[in-house]
């Protein structure tokens, strides 16, 4: 039985939320992100995109391209509230859904045509309900797989919908740019373009073995996606509210240097797990248990982030404010809570392009060579902290020289 997969995406979500707060922003080029010249664009309106502006672009360049644009720092708390509202509507009506980011959803509605007139009609009614209750524009694609539905949503935007029936996947994808296929990033796109491949149709007509020879296993996956073949399931969404780690010492200690180095390693590891799980935190908690078993915690609310330097500074500040007894410590712990889904979009509010690229490079090295491949000097001597990633269920990579 063919699957029926619905993909929904809130259009220019951050901008749409801001326009609900201030109607004067309607029909104007809007930039959201770091407001200084060192900041970057987190999101932009369609009016701004007409000037060649896109997310992750340096704000200074965006202002040069469109001097009349309205620049807003953004409010991640507001966006989370609107996202939660949409999530609740989908949760009420959909039998199985996956929230893949703060503004993007997949639903498996296979077999629902037995209970409603047709899946396409049900999807349109759900979209209308979301727009009526939230006043946010939203687009959707409906097809037999996640890939085709997601591409369909992109083609339907802005604020529209499309249905790709079973058997229509290949002709629908054929005339599109190869860059429209998920997994085809800038590097892969340029490699394919150097081979003369511009449209999906060309990949559809190529032997899969050739794509695999050029791009390895990714080539095989991209070839299948180009054919509309994608058996990736919709994973039932359960919101994880927090992530934490603790260390109980074999011998109680008052070695502050050691304690601070462990806290840094804890925060660094948890931040890496957040980024791998496309999560952000807005609340940091530090826990201390003394040798007499008295336990104390202290927490602080912060702007949504998943970047080491912000989280480490907050953890150390909380520890310094709390550790006043100078009594032997038995256990320390760190917890990040108030988690929301989000990629680099939200994280761009506070951070420069240079800093974001640094974290992307660091995470690339960790993903390839193991999470201890890049560590701060203060945490070099700390034993490995954490195991399986709590968001994607993946075990940490162990480099070959350590597997022997």
Residue 104 annotated as catalytic: yes
The confidence score (pLDDT) of residue 402 equals 39
C-alpha to C-alpha distance for 272 and 115, rounded to whole angstroms: 44
The structural domains of the chain, ordered by start, are 1-166 (3.30.70.270), 171-227 (1.10.150.20), 242-379 (3.30.1490.100)
Q: Is 208 exposed, middle or buried (0-12, 13-18, 19+ CB in 10 A)?
A: middle
Distance of CA 135 to the CA centre of its chain: 24
Q: Which helix (H) or strand (E) holds 356?
A: helix 353-369
**In sequence order, what E strands does 144-278 have?**
161-163, 242-253
Question: Which tens digits make up the pLDDT trace of 176-230?
Answer: 999 999 889 888 999 999 989 999 999 999 999 999 998 888 899 999 999 999 9
**Binding-site entries:** 9, 103
Per-residue tokens: 41: 């664009």
Contact 136, 18 (CB under 8 A): no
Please count the other Cβ atoms lying within 10 Å of the Cβ belonging to residue 124: 15
Half-sphere exposure of 97 (CA within 13 A, CB side): 20
Residue 96 has pLDDT above 80, yes or no: yes
Catalytic, out of 98, 104, 268, 353? 104
Q: Please count the residues of the chain.
A: 404
Phi first, then psi: what are they for 59, rounded to 5°? -60, -35
Q: Of all helices (H) and strands (E), which one includes residue 30?
A: strand 30-33
Cβ–Cβ < 8 Å for 130, 89: yes
pLDDT at 367: 64
CB 29 within 8 Å of CB 45: yes
Residue 132 in tokens: 């009526």
Nearest 5 degrees, angle CA 299-CA 305-CA 308? 85
Q: Which of 223, 146, 222, 215 is nearest to 184 (CA)?
A: 222
Confidence (pLDDT) at 383: 56
Tokens of 69: 């644009």
- CA dist., res. 55 & res. 53, Å (int): 7
Do residues 136 and 20 make contact, with C-beta atoms less than 8 angstroms apart? Answer: yes
Residue with tokens 């045509």: 113
Q: How many CB atoms lie within 10 A of CB 288?
A: 21
Residue 403 has pLDDT above 60, yes or no: no
Q: Where residue 327 falls among pLDDT bands split at 50, 70, 90?
A: confident
pTM: 0.68
Cβ neighbourhood burial of 155 (10 Å; 0-12, 13-18, 19+): middle
Q: 296 and 330 in contact (C-beta within 8 Å)?
A: no
Ramachandran bin of 390, using left for φ above 0, alpha for ψ from -120 to 50, beta for the remaining angles: alpha
For residue 341, list its beta bridge partners: 279
Q: First-to-last CA distance in the chain?
A: 45
The average confidence (pLDDT) of the chain is: 85
Identify the three-state secondary structure at position 9.
Answer: strand
Asked if omega into 334 is within 30° of 0 (cis), the reply is no
Position 132 scores a pLDDT of 97
- Helix boundaries (H) for 157-245: 169-173, 186-194, 200-205, 208-215, 217-226
Distance CA 242, CA 320 (A): 23
Q: Which residues, listed in sequence order, are joined to residue 101 by a DSSP beta bridge?
A: 104
Which residues, in sequence order, are bridge partners of residue 280? Answer: 340
Known binding residues for Mg(2+) are: 9, 103
Q: Give me the sign of the Cα torsion angle 258, 259, 264, 269.
A: positive
Average pLDDT over residues 353-377: 64
Give residue 66's pLDDT band: very low, low, confident or very high (50, 70, 90). very high
pLDDT tens-digit readout, 131-173: 999 999 999 999 999 999 999 999 999 999 999 999 999 999 9
């Amino acid at each position: 039985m063919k699957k029926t997969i619905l993909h929904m995406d809130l259009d220019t979500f951050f901008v749409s939320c801001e326009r609900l707060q201030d109607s004067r922003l309607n029909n104007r080029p809007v930039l959201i992100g770091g407001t200084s010249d060192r900041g970057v664009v987190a999101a932009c309106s369609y009016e701004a995109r007409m000037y060649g502006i896109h997310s992750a672009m340096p704000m200074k360049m965006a202002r040069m391209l469109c001097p009349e644009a309205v620049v807003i720092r953004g409010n991640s708390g507001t966006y989370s509230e609107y996202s939660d509202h949409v999530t609740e509507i989908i949760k009420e009506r959909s039998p199985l859904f996956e929230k893949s980011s703060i503004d993007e959803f997949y639903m498996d509605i296979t077999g629902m045509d037995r209970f409603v007139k047709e899946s396409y009609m049900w999807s349109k009614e759900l979209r209308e309900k979301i727009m009526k209750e939230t006043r946010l524009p939203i687009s959707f694609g409906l097809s037999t797989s996640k890939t085709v539905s997601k591409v369909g949503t992109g083609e339907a935007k802005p604020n529209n919908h499309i249905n790709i029936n079973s058997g229509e996947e290949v002709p629908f994808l054929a005339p599109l740019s190869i860059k429209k296929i998920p997994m085809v990033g800038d590097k892969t796109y340029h490699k394919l373009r150097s081979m003369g491949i511009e449209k999906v149709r060309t990949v559809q007509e190529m032997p899969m073995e050739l794509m695999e020879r050029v791009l390895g296993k990714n080539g095989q996956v991209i070839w299948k996606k180009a054919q509309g073949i994608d058996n990736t399931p919709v994973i039932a969404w359960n919101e994880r509210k927090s992530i934490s780690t603790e260390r109980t010492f074999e011998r109680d200690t008052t070695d502050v240097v050691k304690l601070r180095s462990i806290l840094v390693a804890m925060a660094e590891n948890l931040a890496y797990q957040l980024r791998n799980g496309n999560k952000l935190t807005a609340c940091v908690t530090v826990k201390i248990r003394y040798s007499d078993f008295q336990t104390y915690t202290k927490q602080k609310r912060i702007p949504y982030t998943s970047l080491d330097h912000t989280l480490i500074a907050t953890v150390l500040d909380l520890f310094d404010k709390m550790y006043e007894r100078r009594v032997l410590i038995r256990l320390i712990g760190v917890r990040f809570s108030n988690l929301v889904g989000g990629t680099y979009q939200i994280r761009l509010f506070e951070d420069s392009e240079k800093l974001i690229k640094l974290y992307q490079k660091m995470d690339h090295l960790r993903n390839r060579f193991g999470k201890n491949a890049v560590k701060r000097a203060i945490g070099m001597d700390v034993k490995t902290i954490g195991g399986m990633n709590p968001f994607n269920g993946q075990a940490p990579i162990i480099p070959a020289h350590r597997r022997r």
